[in-house]
Amino acid sequence: MNNMYFTEEHELFRKSFQEFLQKEVVPHIEKWEKTGTIERFIWKKFGDMGYFGITYPEQYGGMDLDLFYTVIFLEELQKINSGGFAAAMWAHSYLAMTHLLKEGDERIKEEYLAPSIAGDKIGCLCITEPFGGSDVAGMKSTAVKKGDKYILNGSKTFITNGIYSDYLVVAAKTDASKGAKGMSIFLVDRDTPGISATKLDKLGWRASDTAEIAFDNVEIPAENLMGEENLGFSYIMQHFALERLIMGVNAHARAEFALDYTINYMGEREAFGKTIDKFQALRHSVADMASEVEMCKEFNYSIVKRMIDGVYVVKEASMSKLLSTKIADDVIYKCLQFLGGYGYMEDYPLARLFRDSRLGPIGGGTSEILREIIAKMVIDKKEYKPAAE
């Protein structure tokens, strides 16, 4: 283990989290993958153990730990081979809850953040729209001020926890004439009249519920506006760096899991009188893959460290997601091949891993969008500044 970044306390946390996952989560994974419904009890167990509050302030029930504990949380979730379960957990903890912490007022933190940390309330973040995709600024959803309320209309799609969550963090245009500068963030209760959600049928991430959500004249109390009106776009951009880094870390973790499993398999599988880990073509391919994964991992850890030090890492986080997700897909593709026919069987882990991994270059900013962001920074010398907090 990399002692430059992880202390003995980190490793004790890793071990206890591994044991928790094996005992409380792994026995249910197959069922959740089949039903597409993660039962409520597991959210409460995560909450009771403090796992949703790793980096959150103690005053709301969090543990106030450093970001490397989050890295451990993410890595170990990838290694139980359900990208969907992992996504449901981190989308709650790091997408929805991040906005509550950063933009929510004291009432919102008490009524929503604290119960989210405790595992009593589940959140989702609603940004992507059916016709917008990665074009966040082109958002069509509107929230029009009317007295002491905002009237929300529009739709969102590909929303993780979009069916079973208790509240929604929603981005909408409050001033359509201002483009990206006219967007705001709202907290919306699930039981508010006018909200309907449809479950989507996905290639992978089968355990998580992913929804298309429609808002039809949904009335939001004005006090549920989070942060300043019309500053929503900068808040979203602010948190994208963390989301991209999370997806980069997830990618190196699942690639490492695939490689470890495959190396183990190759040591047991015999062909032509010897185990297949003795064949040079396969050995050299493993050497290449191990090198790439190790470089990803070191790069990702270094970005986490910079984030802890207060550096705004939008370029590096975009690079992390772009490269790590590509390498993860390549590694998992090859590892499946090394299992031969068994790689194609759902009884073996590589089939699901292959499907789950494929979302990496798509979700949280497509690789194409990331390349354009990186190109702007590298070629056009564009500088992205964090939103003023």
Asked whether residue 185 falls in the same domain as residue 289, the answer is: no
Domain final residue, candidates 57, 92, 122:
122
Confidence (pLDDT) at 387: 62
Residue 153 bridge partners (DSSP): 142
Asked whether residue 342 falls in the same domain as residue 210, the answer is: no
Give residue for tokens 């490492």.
256
Asked whether residue 237 falls in the same domain as residue 201, the answer is: no
Residue 84 lies in a domain: yes
| 8 Å CB contact between 21 and 76 | yes
Taking the chain (389 residues) in runs of 10, the rounded mean pLDDT of each run is: 88 98 98 97 98 98 98 98 98 97 98 98 97 83 98 98 98 94 97 98 98 98 98 91 96 98 98 98 98 98 96 95 98 98 98 98 95 96 75
Buried/exposed code over 203-224 (b: 16+ C-beta within 10 A; e: otherwise): ebbbbbbbbbbbbeebebeeeb
Structure tokens at 323: 């490269």
- DSSP, residue by residue, 185-212: EEEEETTSTTEEEEE---SS-TTS-EEE
Asked whether residue 77 falls in the same domain as residue 165, the answer is: no
Sequence-ordered alpha helix ranges (H) in the chain: 8-20, 26-35, 40-49, 67-78, 83-90, 97-103, 106-108, 114-118, 232-268, 280-308, 314-338, 349-357, 367-378
Residue 384 lies in a domain: no
Asked whether residue 38 falls in the same domain as residue 102, the answer is: yes
Asked whether residue 136 falls in the same domain as residue 173, the answer is: yes
Q: What is the residue type of 340?
A: G
Q: Is 243 a catalytic residue?
A: yes
Asked whether residue 12 falls in the same domain as residue 111, the answer is: yes
Confidence (pLDDT) at 389: 45
Domain final residue, candidates 87, 122, 157:
122
Buried/exposed code over 15-43 (b: 16+ C-beta within 10 A; e: otherwise): eebeebbeeebeebbeebbeebebeeebb
Asked whether residue 354 falls in the same domain as residue 251, the answer is: yes
CATH of the domain at 135: 2.40.110.10
Residue 270 bridge partners (DSSP): 275
Q: How many domains does the chain have?
A: 3
CATH of the domain at 13: 1.10.540.10
Asked whether residue 65 falls in the same domain as residue 178, the answer is: no
Sequence-ordered alpha helix ranges (H) in 50-168: 67-78, 83-90, 97-103, 106-108, 114-118
CATH of the domain at 280: 1.20.140.10
Give residue for tokens 């479950």.
199
Asked whether residue 361 falls in the same domain as residue 290, the answer is: yes
Q: By residue range, what is the domain housing residue 53?
A: 8-122
Residue 269 lies in a domain: yes
Question: Which residue among 75, 76, 243, 316 is the active-site one?
Answer: 243
Give residue for tokens 């940390």.
117
Confidence (pLDDT) at 181: 93
Residue 388 lies in a domain: no
Residue 310 lies in a domain: yes
∠ CA 173-179-183, nearest 5°, is 30
